[in-house]
Amino acid sequence: MPPSSKLTRGAHAAWGHVLSYAPKIASTSSFGAATPHGDRSEMSIAHTHPPPLLSVTLAAYHVAPWVGATLDSVRTQTFGDWECVAIDDGSLDETGRLLDEAVRRDARFRVTHQTNNGVSSARNRGVTSARGVWVGFLDGDDAVAPWWLASVAAAIQIPGLSLVRHGFRVWRGGALPHVQQTTGHSLFTGQTQIHRWGWLAFAVEGFSWRCFVRREIARRVRFILGLPLQEDSVYGFDLLPHLRGVCDLRATPHFYRRRRGSVLHSACPVKVPLMLLQQARRVLTHPFPCDAACERERALAFFVFHAVTDWALRPKGSESNRFSEVRVALTAFIDDGIFTFRQLVPLWWRPSTWLFLRIGWLWPMRIGGVCACVMFKLRQHLHLGDTP
């Protein structure tokens, strides 16, 4: 399942200067057998062993061509004290069968099949089922280096941590590249340090699959159901008040598969930016240290504006009669004094955004976004060309 909160390249280029669902768990079966469970079934071995140190929750939906590589990359981890809780979110392809096969091959895998309810529901269900002291996330079409869990296990030995975060690399398929395990990390303790780091970190690249969270916090903070995009950033914002220590690893053990057919290559309905703008207003009520006000303002401005530009690049033409709803919702952030126009809109986007807010023209924003994407690709190409 592709991460649905990934940033569009145009938004990255324009903002380059910025940085309870509790299902009833079925009785587990003996190895290889399926026990009736609500929607379909849960497949696992009985819980006869002590809880593992790390739980990986794997959300999967229609990823049959890629989930085999994902499962293999987990199975071959050099660190052994883990479990993988896979949630098949109502896939109609071979995804469910491949997950069941993983259970038969390795007792550390468990799988639950549910009716399709979205990535947030799948992750929440996985967290509820997880038995590990720490809980991490993985999508069904990505992969990880063999030392992924070993690097996390080493980091969590630092006392007082609530969250461990690692880096990632973009992967376009094929054989997994060999990435040497690197060391080094940044530590953040106390609410001021954590908020100064976290608001921008979660707004810009707040992907949940970069994180391992202590289980008691993961069960307290849930993914918001119904958000098809940027649900990871919202989850990160909701985590911030609960964190007491953060370790941000420099290592990049995660391979994010960039592919066509993901949610980021589909038309975006009007309800998406409207829901995200509503979440931004809810997040504004979170407690935060006054010393982190600047970072919070920049992060939420980025989040709000990105929600609109991401939609503007690929709106549903059949919903043109509802485009004004987004216009009104975005204008309200300015009218209510939450942001000024300059705070909210980066310089590149100001002419086209002004036309959208004042006249209702969306096409200038689409053109501006396409140009930003082209510039981003050119800069990336030139940078790669200079790399020895």
- What DSSP assignment string belongs to 295-363? HHHHHHHHHHHHHHHHHHTSB-GGGGGGHHHHHHHHHHHHHTTS--HHHHS-GGGHHHHHHHHHT---H
Confidence of residue 263 (pLDDT cuts 50, 70, 90): low
Whether 222 is in a domain gets the answer: yes
Whether 72 and 135 map to the same domain: the answer is yes
Query: 21: closest CA among 111, 100, 118?
Result: 118
- For 224, how many CA atoms within 13 A lie in the half-sphere containing its CB? 23
**Amino acid letter at 224?**
I
From 218, 238, 263, give the residue that closes a domain: 263
Whether 1 is in a domain gets the answer: no
Whether 291 is in a domain gets the answer: yes
Whether 279 and 357 map to the same domain: the answer is yes
Q: pTM for the whole thing? A: 0.84
Whether 322 and 258 map to the same domain: the answer is no
Q: For residue range 220-245, what is the model confidence (pLDDT) as tens digits? A: 999 999 988 899 999 999 999 999 99
Pairing, β 109-114 against β 40-43: antiparallel
User: What pLDDT was estimated at residue 13?
Assistant: 39
Whether 2 is in a domain gets the answer: no
Q: For residue range 314-327, what is the model confidence (pLDDT) as tens digits? A: 888 889 889 999 99
Contact between 229 and 314 under an 8 Å Cβ cutoff? The reply is no
Lowest mean pLDDT among 49-53, 142-146, 212-216, 351-355: 49-53
Please give the C-alpha separations between residue 120 and each of 177, 235, 273, 317, 358, in angstroms, as whole numbers: 29, 10, 17, 27, 35
Whether 277 and 341 map to the same domain: the answer is yes
- Strand-pair partners of 56: 84, 136
**106: number of Cβ within 10 Å:** 14
Whether 32 and 53 map to the same domain: the answer is yes
Residues in CB range of 45: below 8 A, 6 or more apart: 28, 29, 30, 31, 103, 107, 110
Whether 214 is in a domain gets the answer: yes
Query: CB-based burial of residue 183 (10 Å sphere; 0-12 exposed, 13-18 middle, 19+ buried)?
Result: exposed
The Cα 269–Cα 266 span in angstroms is 9
User: Encoding tokens for residue 251?
Assistant: 């290592």
Q: For residue range 41-82, what is the model confidence (pLDDT) as tens digits? A: 555 554 567 899 999 999 999 999 999 999 999 999 999 999
User: Encoding tokens for residue 111?
Assistant: 């799988």
The Cα 350–Cα 369 span in angstroms is 12
Phi, psi for residue 179 in degrees, rounded to 5:
-120, 120
Q: For residue range 184-216, what is the model confidence (pLDDT) as tens digits? A: 999 999 999 999 999 999 999 889 999 999 999
**Long-range contacts (CB closer than 8 Å, 24 or more residues apart) made by 313-318:** 313/8, 313/10, 313/268, 313/365, 313/366, 313/369, 313/370, 314/266, 314/267, 314/268, 315/267, 315/268, 315/270, 315/362, 316/267, 316/268, 316/269, 316/270, 317/267
Whether 236 and 276 map to the same domain: the answer is no
Between 40 and 229, whose confidence is greater?
229
Whether 187 and 257 map to the same domain: the answer is yes
Contact between 253 and 156 under an 8 Å Cβ cutoff? The reply is no
User: Encoding tokens for residue 32?
Assistant: 């290889």
**Which residue is it, tokens 């703008």?**
277
Q: For residue range 81-112, what is the model confidence (pLDDT) as tens digits? A: 999 999 999 999 999 999 999 999 999 999 99
Which domain CATH number covers 207?
Answer: 3.90.550.10
From 223, 247, 263, give the residue that closes a domain: 263
The Cα 236–Cα 234 span in angstroms is 5
pLDDT over 50 at 361, yes or no: yes
Whether 112 is in a domain gets the answer: yes
Whether 320 and 193 map to the same domain: the answer is no
Whether 271 and 373 map to the same domain: the answer is yes
**Long-range contacts (CB closer than 8 Å, 24 or more residues apart) made by 17-23:** 17/346, 18/200, 18/204, 18/298, 18/302, 18/346, 19/200, 19/204, 20/124, 20/222, 21/121, 21/124, 21/125, 21/128, 21/222, 21/225, 22/128, 23/114, 23/125, 23/128
The Cα 212–Cα 292 span in angstroms is 24
Q: Say how many domains are in the chain.
A: 2
Whether 220 and 296 map to the same domain: the answer is no
CA–chain centroid gap for 267, Å, is: 19
From 213, 244, 263, give the residue that closes a domain: 263
Residue span of the structural domain in which 217 resides:
9-263
Residue 374 backbone class (left: φ over 0; alpha: ψ -120 to 50; beta: rest): alpha
**321: number of Cβ within 10 Å:** 8
Whether 316 is in a domain gets the answer: yes
Confidence of residue 260 (pLDDT cuts 50, 70, 90): low
The Cα 388–Cα 385 span in angstroms is 8
Whether 108 and 255 map to the same domain: the answer is yes
Whether 3 is in a domain gets the answer: no
Whether 225 and 309 map to the same domain: the answer is no
**Amino acid letter at 167?**
G
